[in-house]
Amino acid sequence: MQAAGDTENIPEMKQFKGIDIVFLPVNLPYTMTPEIAADAARAVRPKILYPYHFGDTEISRLTELLKNDKDIEVRVRDMQ
């Protein structure tokens, strides 16, 4: 399991391998756009991706971007 904290898609993320679950922050201006988060997820190749920190970001965009990556399951939780 990896929790990315408040970060961007930094080159060091591509070094992570064999991660089953990853938590990626998706919200500007301090973290990732859905497009950047999709790129990070493709680099890490987790089995399950939990986006978080998305606030007003249209998180369905991330799900749409990864819909053809059948080996990555995107799980969005409504946090209140």
Nearest in space to 32 (alpha carbons), one of 63, 59, 7, 60: 7
Task: Quick: pLDDT tens for 22-44.
Answer: 999 898 777 889 999 999 999 98
Residue 77 Cα distances to 50, 59, 60, 74, angstroms: 8, 10, 12, 10
Task: Quick: pLDDT tens for 36-74.
Answer: 999 999 998 999 999 988 888 889 999 999 999 999 999
From CA 2, how far away is CA 44, in angstroms rounded?
10
Residue with tokens 């920190």: 53
From CA 27, how far away is CA 18, in angstroms rounded?
25
pLDDT of residue 55: 81
More confident residue, 78 or 43: 43
Question: Which homologous superfamily does the CATH classification assign to the domain defined by 2-74?
Answer: Ribonuclease Z/Hydroxyacylglutathione hydrolase-like (3.60.15.10)
Domain spans of the chain, in order of start: 2-74
